[in-house]
């Protein structure tokens, strides 16, 4: 999955407007038959992006833009109400336009914009800003990436960065007030998982400025900066870090331990929250991008997929020459030292080797590949204990993508699962899809990193299975690792709906994943807490993957010998992130067009 730097509410888009693409963003879109409709649509898109960045300066910085004000933005309730009013106005403008008067590409942008803003309006009713974190991410961690967002390079940039540091107490105080409102309203994260979050928050409280990730810009100044300025700026930065910033983090950690944990809801599922049944239903529809799907349908599909995958796993277990039971094979995979790295470097090098092997195979499966490279890094230390096995972080605009591999608790990071993880998070999964999306030309800025979860995560899971065709899995153990990952995503359909709609306990969810995958206990515990704290997101993976395979099989059946897997993949990636409905329309159009050649 994509790395989550900010889990404030649900970010419905990761929007990018790189300065290098400014000419493309502001240029006319594909010529529409009615210029006035095209012009109005283009203006709407530009107005929405301007408003979006104005109210979210950290995202603007991360996307290579200079905010109109040096501050961290506000998340106060009145700001939430203002954003909602703004989004309703954007939707009203969109609805007044004649969609049929637009070109084909503009209609795609119209539909995606509608989905994005409609979902923001729909989910705003639940006030997710009152619990701005999940088990592995939150605003307190997002702030630690300020050096990457601000990227100070000269005296003016450093002074702005110091101003941001001095703004941290106000921002943290607003988030704390929002969480207090959540306590009063009964809209909190479940108390049962907060013991795992506490160490992450406590780790952000430092003794000395030099111990904080926020100190990084002061550890190395540009060589061109005069020594006197370096001394002055470092002193101001250290004063901010040792004073207001450290105090803000310490106060928040104290609040979390003394107020939030004791007052948090004892119930586990989202359905137990105020208006919870409707909340979870809407989350399920958002994360699958399907307007009518129900938790019951999702749960049943998960059970069916688990049964199918188990049969394949049993076959592969036989290919490995194992004669014991399924449970015994799971125990063997979880405990035999041969399957686990002994050093972080070993794990990172193995991931790098697999990634380079995949690189050589990509041209046989894709006609268009991204220009932007990616690197491989360990998950940051302050996130690692409660983080997933790996994630893709697109990073700031202009930087290489980052495939994060978790080197914490090495005895829980099986090497036999690493090919599937690399295919999913790096190439041809999230990096390929995400980088191509950022490289789109002549599209509105909101689309450059637009990320409907069912498409994005479904593509990542599709990439894992594509690795079978690509010859990436070399042993039965690696193939079993792939199937274990697929079973893990199918089990999410069962577990997520079980927790949030059917009253499952935390232990029930753990037991289900233990019985149906080869995941280690640490991974299972971390993942279950993620599903508890981020309801609905886990539904995106399998549902999206099933749709992509359905569309591929449709194209293969329709085109026969004329089917070209490179063309299919280019079609699927052509528009960047899309809803499953838009993806289906695009594949059907490709089939119709290819059939006439």
Q: Using one digit for the tens of pLDDT, what is the confidence trace for 425-443?
A: 999 999 999 999 999 999 9
Residue-by-residue DSSP string for 280-294? HHHHHHHHHT-SS--
Q: Is the pLDDT of residue 36 over 90?
A: no
pLDDT digits (tens, 9 = 90+) for 96-112: 999 999 999 999 999 99
At residue 540, φ and ψ (nearest 5 deg) are: -65, -40
Q: What is the mean pLDDT of residues 217-245?
A: 97
At residue 388, φ and ψ (nearest 5 deg) are: -70, 175
3-class secondary-structure state, position 138: strand
Give pLDDT, residue 175: 98
Whether residue 307 contacts residue 494, with contact meaning beta carbons closer than 8 Å, is answered with no
Enumerate the domain spans of the chain: 19-266
10-24, 239-253, 386-400, 569-583: which has the minimum mean pLDDT? 10-24
pLDDT digits (tens, 9 = 90+) for 472-482: 999 999 999 99
* DSSP tally for the chain: helices H, then strands E: 26, 3
Beta strands in 30-72 (DSSP E): none
The dihedral built from the CA positions of residue 402, 404, 405 and 409, taken in this order, carries a sign that is: positive
pLDDT digits (tens, 9 = 90+) for 348-382: 999 999 999 999 999 999 999 999 999 999 999 88
Return d(Cα 76, Cα 130) in angstroms, integer: 10
Q: What is the mean pLDDT of residues 519-547?
A: 96
């Amino acid at each position: 999955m994509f790395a989550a730097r900010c889990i404030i509410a649900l970010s419905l888009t990761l929007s990018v407007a790189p300065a290098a693409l400014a000419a493309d963003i502001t240029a006319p879109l594909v010529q529409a038959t009615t210029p006035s409709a095209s012009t109005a649509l283009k203006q709407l898109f530009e107005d929405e992006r301007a408003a979006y960045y104005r109210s979210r300066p950290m995202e603007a910085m991360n996307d290579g833009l200079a905010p109109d004000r040096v501050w961290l933005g506000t998340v106060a309730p009145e700001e939430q109400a203002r954003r909602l009013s703004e989004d309703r106005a954007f939707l009203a403008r969109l609805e007044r336009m004649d969609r049929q008067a637009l070109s084909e590409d503009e209609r795609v942008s119209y539909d995606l914009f509608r989905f994005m803003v409609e979902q923001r309006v729909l989910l705003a009713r639940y006030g997710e800003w009152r619990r701005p974190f999940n088990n592995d991410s939150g605003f307190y961690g997002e702030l630690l990436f300020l050096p990457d967002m601000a990227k100070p390079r000269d005296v003016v940039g450093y002074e702005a960065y110091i101003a941001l540091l001095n703004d941290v107490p106000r921002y943290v105080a607003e988030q704390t007030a929002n969480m207090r409102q959540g306590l009063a309203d009964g809209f909190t994260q479940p108390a049962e998982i907060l013991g795992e979050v506490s160490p992450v928050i406590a780790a952000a409280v430092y003794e000395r400025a030099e111990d904080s990730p926020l100190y990084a810009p002061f550890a190395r100044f540009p060589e061109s900066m005069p020594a006197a300025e370096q001394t002055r700026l470092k002193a101001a930065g250290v004063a901010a870090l040792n004073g207001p910033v450290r105090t803000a983090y310490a106060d928040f950690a104290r609040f979390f331990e003394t107020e939030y944990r004791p007052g948090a809801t004892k119930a586990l599922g989202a359905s137990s929250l105020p208006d919870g049944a409707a909340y979870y239903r809407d989350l399920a529809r958002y994360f699958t991008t399907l307007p009518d799907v129900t938790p019951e349908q999702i749960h049943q599909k998960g059970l069916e997929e688990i049964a199918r995958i188990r049969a394949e796993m049993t076959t592969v277990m036989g290919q490995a020459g194992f004669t014991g039971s399924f449970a015994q094979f799971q125990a063997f995979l979880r405990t035999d030292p041969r399957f686990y790295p002994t050093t972080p470097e070993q794990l990172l090098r193995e991931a790098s080797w697999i990634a380079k092997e995949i690189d050589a195979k990509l041209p046989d499966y894709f006609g268009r590949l991204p220009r932007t490279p990616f690197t491989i890094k360990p998950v940051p230390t302050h996130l690692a204990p409660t983080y997933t096995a790996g994630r893709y972080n697109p990073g700031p605009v202009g930087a290489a993508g980052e495939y994060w591999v978790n080197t914490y608790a090495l005895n829980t990071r099986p090497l036999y699962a690493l090919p599937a993880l690399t295919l999913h998070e790096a190439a041809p999964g999230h990096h390929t899809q995400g980088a191509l999306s950022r490289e789109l030309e002549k599209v509105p800025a909101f689309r450059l990193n637009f990320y409907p979860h069912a498409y994005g995560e479904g593509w990542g899971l599709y990439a894992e299975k594509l690795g079978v065709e690509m010859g990436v899995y070399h042993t039965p153990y690696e193939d079993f690792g792939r199937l274990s990952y697929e079973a893990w995503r199918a089990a999410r359909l069962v577990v997520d709906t079980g927790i949030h709609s059917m009253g499952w306990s935390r232990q029930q969810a753990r037991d289900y994943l233990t019985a149906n995958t080869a995941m280690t206990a640490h991974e299972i515990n971390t993942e279950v807490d993620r599903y508890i704290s981020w309801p609905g997101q886990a539904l995106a993976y399998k549902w999206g993957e099933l749709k992509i395979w359905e569309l591929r099989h449709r194209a293969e059946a329709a085109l026969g010998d004329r089917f070209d897997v490179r063309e299919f993949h280019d079609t699927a990636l052509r528009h960047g992130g899309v809803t499953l409905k838009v993806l289906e329309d695009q594949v059907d159009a490709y089939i119709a067009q290819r059939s006439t050649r």
